[in-house]
């Protein structure tokens, strides 16, 4: 699945990017390196407003920022589950997990599996793995 790519012209507000800005950046991430983004930018963009865009980017094997998008999906899942879905709707996470299981590659199926495992066993939460990219850097299925 390749998303339409457009020229990235920068963020009007990097703290609150639009879906189109995030998508354009994801295909040209070197134009504004992550190191220059606001602190905790990954946490800022991992909310309901951009999760659909992040999911699409994570599903696209050709997206240069795919690992960043996957990292944001881990943050989103953990945030929803750990707040007992006060932070994000359970039905939205469930829908994303089901789509990843049905249409995703190994990375996305692993994310879906790990999200289901965390839902069943919230004590599996480890901040490093879920919020600092540990499960993206060293992909593994939680048991």
Cα angle at 53 between 47 and 58, to 5 degrees? Answer: 100
What are the two backbone dihedrals, phi and then psi, of residue 60, each rounded to the nearest 5 degrees? -90, 105
Rounded CA-CA distance 5/3 in Å is 6
- Tens digits of per-residue pLDDT, 55-85? 999 999 999 999 999 999 999 999 999 999 9
Of 47, 53, 49, 107, the residue nearest 75 (C-alpha): 47
Average pLDDT, rounded, for the chain = 92
Rounded CA-CA distance 50/22 in Å is 8
State percent of the chain over pLDDT 70.
95
In what helix (H) or strand (E) does residue 56 lie, and over which residues does it extend? Answer: helix 48-59
Burial class (CB in 10 A: 0-12, 13-18, 19+), 21: buried
pLDDT for residue 4 is more than 70: no
pLDDT of residue 84: 93
pLDDT of residue 6: 61
pLDDT for residue 31 is more than 60: yes
pTM of the prediction?
A: 0.92
Rounded CA-CA distance 93/99 in Å is 10
State percent of the chain over pLDDT 90.
80
- Tens digits of per-residue pLDDT, 106-123? 999 999 999 999 999 999
Among 10-24, 54-68, 95-109, the minimum mean pLDDT is found in 10-24
Among 4-8, 46-50, 65-69, 137-141, the minimum mean pLDDT is found in 4-8
Rounded CA-CA distance 56/120 in Å is 25
Rounded CA-CA distance 117/96 in Å is 15
Q: For the chain, give every domain's residue range.
A: 19-137
């Amino acid at each position: 699945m390749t998303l339409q790519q457009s020229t990235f012209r920068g963020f009007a507000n990097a703290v609150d990017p639009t879906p189109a800005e995030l998508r354009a950046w994801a295909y040209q991430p070197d134009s504004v390196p992550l190191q220059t983004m606001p602190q905790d930018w990954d946490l800022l963009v991992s909310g309901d407003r951009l999760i659909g865009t992040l999911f699409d980017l994570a599903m696209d094997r050709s997206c240069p920022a795919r690992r960043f998008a996957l990292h944001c999906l881990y943050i989103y899942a953990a945030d929803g589950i750990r707040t007992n879905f006060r932070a994000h709707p359970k039905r939205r996470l469930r829908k994303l997990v089901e789509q990843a299981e049905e249409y995703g590659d190994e990375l996305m199926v692993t994310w879906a599996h790990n999200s289901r495992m965390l839902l069943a066993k919230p004590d599996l939460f480890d901040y490093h793995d879920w919020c600092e990219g540990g499960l993206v850097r060293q992909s593994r299925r939680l048991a």
